Every structure is written in structure tokens, then in C-alpha cells.
Amino acid sequence: MKNINKASAFASAARPFYEEHAIGDDLKIVLEDEAKHLIGARRRSTEEAFEGGERLDRVALLLPEGTVEKWAVECCGYTSRHIRTIRAVSRNLNAYKQILVDLAIGPTVLGKLSAATPEQVEQAIGFAGMHGRLRVQDVTAIIAGSKSDVDENPERDPYDLGGLDGLKAIIAIKVRDGMKSFIGHLEEIRTHVKDVLPKNNIVKKDLAEKTHLTARLAHRELESLVQFVQPHPNDKNTMSSTALPTKSGWEKISRLLYKMGSATYWPDKAELRIWLETEVLPLLDWAAPEKAGPTMPDAKAAALAVPVAETVMVEAPKGSKSEVASVPSLEESLTSMAAAFGMVATVDLSMPEKKGEESIPTLTEALAKTEKRVQRPAFLAKAKPTSPPSATA
């Protein structure tokens, strides 16, 4: 009732605006309906913050050019600054919308983040993923730190920074580049597998030569990303990695990569094609989805996954025995994986264009030259989260 009264009051106050710009009765009804939604919006959720900007952009198309700000001030009671901020959130952060919604970043923080560069937004997302929250002062520090690095001390190496600032900088590199490198190696393996499947005769030795070193590397990368180090339970003098939850999706990926690391563990030639089609590809597609793919009806896994509004269903691979129909997005999968250990991991999945040094090298290329920094591999666009297919070790 309070919002209705507000809307009526603002509608009366906006009458001079409608008369000045010759707004017809039909359009006026539409605009007043939009105004009611904007007045009723309380900006309590991340999604509502984006919706407010999107709504204002739609209204801007109905009004004479350059008048939407004046309309929102007179019809909705917004300030000019607030209008510019919520429109900037919708325009500048749209590519990161799903990740920011999943992280539940507050509207005030989004307003501050809307003025950041894409690199700064990525860094802020990584920070939020590692710390479980993102505050206005965190965004301010990230933006100020970026400007300081570029303008005042461009040669400053994060590996030479001490204290928490240095540690956070290195963690940000790990989140951003480590995950992208891991996914890039999964994509490399998948490409080789897909290349041989159309052939009548799959040469096991040739495929193993192309993939086994990459699989070993990806296995170690996954271990480095998600497993902690602890004293061995039977020998306190030996350090070992913690184990992933048994039969979880990422534990299956870990076992698959270990198995692919040596052709000795591969099935015989007669069963090779079935293994590649029903186990290898579905698991790789689950971990690094190209567009969509599987759901694991597992209560425990579902509890760890980030809630989503819907699931995108796709046809399972031909001949597949997996009970799957959809696949989670990459950031959802990595978030779910890390949540099992009490932490959150986030990565920007917008697909960049490969340009020169930014393309991901093959393992052979990586071994042939020394790189100072981890290459930024291409990675996948968003898809809706689901769960992994079943697989045998």
C-alpha cells in the first residue's frame, strides 16, 4: 500500500514531464507501470540490482533520447547518481552477472564494482571466491591497487610483496590462472579424443602418446587447486595430499586423469571406444562443459552445489550408458568442488578471443620453451549447473 501511494504521488508530480514531451496515454500507462516496479524495488538482492538497470534501459528506449534520468527522478524519486549507478551495473557487469548472483554480491558493492576494469572485476571475483565475501572497501582497495601498480610502480612483483597483501595477490593469480590452465589441459585432451572417435580404427598407442603427459599434468594441477596437505595418517614424517570425497564428481575426474596418465591402465582395444564415449568424454564435458550437459541426483553433491533457477537439458552422447542429461557451468562446478573443503573458488568464464600469446599452448609447446608467466588459456561460456555422470575407475 505504501508503494502504491508513493507511485501515485510521483505519477502526479511527473505530469509536467509527460506534457512537456507529449507522452501519449498508452505510453504513459506503460511508464507508470514500470515506475511502480522501480519504486517497489528494495535492492536487497544481487539479481534485483541488475533488473533495476535493465528496466531503466528498457524505459530509455521508450522515451525521447536523454530523458530517462529526468523521468526516473520525477516519477520514481531516484537521485541522478543512483540512476547512473544502477544502469552502469547492468551495462558494465552483465558479462559477470551469473557469477556475481551466485556469490550474492550486495547492490552497494556492485555499484562500486561497476566502475572497475574487466581485470579488476576478475580480481574482485577471485577475492570474493577465496574469502566468501566482497565489501566496498575491498573493491576500493583492488581498484586503488591496480592504479598504483600501473601508474606508480609497474614493476612491482606480487611474489615480492610480504604480509597478507602479498599472499592475497598470489592467491588471486592462483584462482585466475591456475584454474584456466587446468581447464585448458582438459580441453586439449578432449580435442584429441574427439579427433579419433570418427575413425573406424582407434590406435590406442597414438592417442596415449598425445594425451598421457597432459593428463598427468592436469591431475597434478587439480591436486594443487583443491587438495590440502597433511601429515600421512600412518607416518607423521611423510606429508600427503588430502583425498577428495569418495565417488564425488571431482574425485572421478581425478581418477580418470590418473588412469589416462598411463596407457597401462587403459582398456583393451576392443573396449577402448566404449570407454572413450561413455566415460572419458562425459566426465571431461562435465568438468569443462562446452555448452551444456549431466545431473547427478546425489543429495550430498546437491547440497554442495550453488543453487540455480533452472537446468538446461541436453541429449546424452550416442551410446552413452551414463544416467545424465545436463552439465553444470564451470564456475558452479569449481565452486561446488571447493565447497567440500570449506572454501569457495570462482573464475570468470567469458570467452576471450585468442590473440597471440594469450592462446593456451599444448604440452609439447610448453615443454619446448620457458615461460615467465602462466599462459591465459581459452575457457568456456556459462551453462547451468547439474552433476557428473557415473564412471568406473
* Distance, CA of 310 to CA of 266 (rounded, Å): 37
The domains of the chain are located at 2-92, 95-156, 168-368
Which pLDDT score, from 0 to 100, does residue 319 have? 46
- Separation CA 63–CA 71 (nearest Å): 9
Say which amino acid occupies 273: R
Distance CA 207, CA 205 (A): 6
Whose CA is closest to 188, among 388, 360, 357? 360
pLDDT of residue 392: 46
The pLDDT value recorded for residue 302 is 38
Residue whose C-alpha cell is 507508470: 32
The grid coordinates of residue 82 equal 543512483
CA distances (Å), origin 362, targets 111, 182, 187: 40, 12, 10
73, 84 contact by CB (below 8 A): no
- Within the chain, strands assigned E span 229-232, 235-241
Q: Which residues of 309-339 are buried (b: 16+ CB within 10 A; e: fewer)?
A: eebbebebbeebebebbbbbbbbbbbbbbbe
C-alpha cell at 35: 515506475
3-state SS assignment for residue 310: coil
Q: What is the mean pLDDT of each run of 10 residues along the chain (393 residues)?
A: 50 71 80 76 73 83 82 79 85 87 86 87 86 86 67 64 85 85 94 94 93 94 89 86 90 94 92 94 92 43 39 42 47 58 53 48 53 44 49 45
State the Cα–Cα distance between residues 310 and 213, nearest whole angstrom. Answer: 37
The whole-model pTM stands at 0.41
